[in-house]
Amino acid sequence: MIIDRAEVILTSPDRNFVTLRITTDDGLTGLGDATLNGRELAVVSYLEEHVVPLLIGRDAARIEDTWQFLYRGAYWRRGPVTMAAIAAVDMALWDIKGKAAGMPVYQLLGGASRDGLLAYGHASGRDLPELFDSIRSHLEQGYRAIRVQTGVPGLRSIYGIASNATSEENTGVRYDHEPAQRGALPHQEDWDTGAYLRHVPTVFEAVRGEFGPELPLLHDAHHRLTPTQAARLGRSLEPFDLFWLEDCTPAENPEALRLVRGHTTTPLAIGEVFNTVWDYQQIIREQLIDYVRSAVTHTGGITHLRRVLDYAALYQIKSGMHGPTDISPVGMAAAMHLGLAVHNFGIQEYMKHGARTDAVFQQSFTWRDGYLHPGEKPGLGVELDPDESGKYPYVRAYLPYNRLADGTVHDW
């Protein structure tokens, strides 16, 4: 099992994806996801220029050693580009190990701790009728847990609202509601924290009134609040019993969460922009969160996210792995294998990929009655169709950003 070849495949079926394919001398192949939304080429270059030359000739079976070599052996540690590249290598090696063993990766991680993974989807609307329709449609698709994002009166367009989207067919510009938008420059959105804080609790009150007390509801604040604003939001949402409030404050400042925690019992989720266990060290040790939001793709792969989750388990903190459409089907498969195996699984984010993406990546997971399962194929269970991937060249794309009414750039 000596690594013979490692290729980086950049394809853009519904959006950009960066995939690493490793081939061994005995003909086994493994896939890893290295997609960094809006900064894809940085990881392509890191992989091609700096990592691939180090892989050729290595023993593909030595997953832990390869991880340590790529992490500790490089002087410059951490950061999203490095950790996405390491993640892709790690995933591909787990894929190969599974194929060599004839077992799905979750079996190599200790076997299933549950029958399936509860997953949540993204409902959204510019106003209540649109939001209610979106929630109903998600329930019809089988979702048993729902993230609720809402338009705010007075704001033109808000991130994460599906109906703000205009389709590629109509405008020539693709803008789905969890975009990086394909285009020359990032799209500008507007923001007003006061209006948001006044509006959101009224929306959750209406949603609870319509859909009852039992449906697990989640909300993402996308890092836009100060600690006092976040504390106020958490407290005002307590009557509506959220599953979690996500990214309430910018992720760089763990101390902010002490203040939030001191004022609200609304569960907190954070970490989709974190890359290592060290980013989590303080907030896990001080029990400042309830859910770890990392994706396998952005946190150094299965090997490293497993380490984060084992540490989190000491403090009754559970997984809530990031799963928007910018995590490729390979990254999603890795999340499902890991989520099935660890004891402290919480919930899995699951946004369906488009038909073109599903044609590029042949997958073997199942989605039934609100639960995901990675399937029983050896390895991760995903194969890439080279003819399909070759049809969709890379298109530069940016996530949007936002400004306040006076023109100030605001936190993401």
- 149, containing H or E segment: strand 146-150
Calpha distance 53→51 (Å, rounded): 6
- Going through 162-248 in order, the beta strands assigned E by DSSP cover 181-182, 188-190, 217-220, 244-246
Say if CB 353 and CB 329 are below 8 A apart: yes
Among 4, 7, 130, 178, binds ligand GCO (CB under 6 A): 178
Q: Which stretch binds Mg ion (CB under 5 A): 161-169, 217-225, 280-288, 334-342?
A: 217-225
Among 11, 12, 37, 275, binds ligand GCO (CB under 6 A): 37
- What residues are annotated to the active site? 159, 222
Q: Of the candidates 213, 223, 216, which has an alpha carbon nearest to the alpha carbon of residue 246?
A: 223
Calpha distance 294→320 (Å, rounded): 7
| Residue closer to ligand GCO (CB basis): 37 or 276 | 37
Rounded to the nearest 10 degrees, the angle between the axes of helix 128-140 and helix 193-211 is: 50
CB of 98 to Mg ion, least distance (A): 29
Answer with the entry of Mg ion, ligand GCO, none that 178 interacts with (C-beta below 5 to 8 A by kind). Answer: ligand GCO
Among 186, 201, 216, 324, binds ligand GCO (CB under 6 A): 324
| Strands 117-125 and 146-150, sheet pairing | parallel
CB of 246 to Mg ion, least distance (A): 5
- Identify residues 156-175 at the interface with ligand GCO (CB under 6 A): 160
| Residue closer to ligand GCO (CB basis): 14 or 178 | 178
**Residue 176 engages ligand GCO in binding (rule: CB under 6 A):** no
Contact pattern from residue 208 through residue 237 relative to ligand GCO, giving x for each residue in contact according to CB under 6 A and a dash for the rest: ------------x-x---------------
Calpha distance 410→401 (Å, rounded): 8
The CA-atom distances, in angstroms, between 367 and each of 48, 105, 119, 298, 347 are: 35, 18, 9, 24, 14
Answer with the entry of Mg ion, ligand GCO, none that 37 interacts with (C-beta below 5 to 8 A by kind). Answer: ligand GCO
Answer with the entry of Mg ion, ligand GCO, none that 324 interacts with (C-beta below 5 to 8 A by kind). Answer: ligand GCO
Calpha distance 9→23 (Å, rounded): 13
| Residue closer to ligand GCO (CB basis): 109 or 117 | 117
Q: Rounded to 5 degrees, what angle do the CA atoms 274, 278, 284 make? A: 85
| Residue closer to ligand GCO (CB basis): 11 or 348 | 348
CB of 38 to ligand GCO, least distance (A): 7
**Residue 220 engages Mg ion in binding (rule: CB under 5 A):** yes
**Residue 33 engages ligand GCO in binding (rule: CB under 6 A):** no
In DSSP terms, 2 is beta-bridged to 59
Q: Which residue number places its CB atom closest to ligand GCO? A: 37
Calpha distance 70→359 (Å, rounded): 32
| Residue closer to ligand GCO (CB basis): 220 or 411 | 220
**373 Cβ contact list (under 8 Å, min separation 6):** 115, 116, 117, 336, 340, 365, 366
Write the DSSP symbol of residue 180: P
Say if CB 98 and CB 104 are below 8 A apart: yes
Binding residues for ligand GCO, total number by CB under 6 A: 11
**Residue 411 engages ligand GCO in binding (rule: CB under 6 A):** no
| Residue closer to ligand GCO (CB basis): 220 or 383 | 220
Name the residues that contact ligand GCO, by CB under 6 A.
Answer: 37, 160, 178, 220, 222, 272, 322, 324, 326, 349, 399
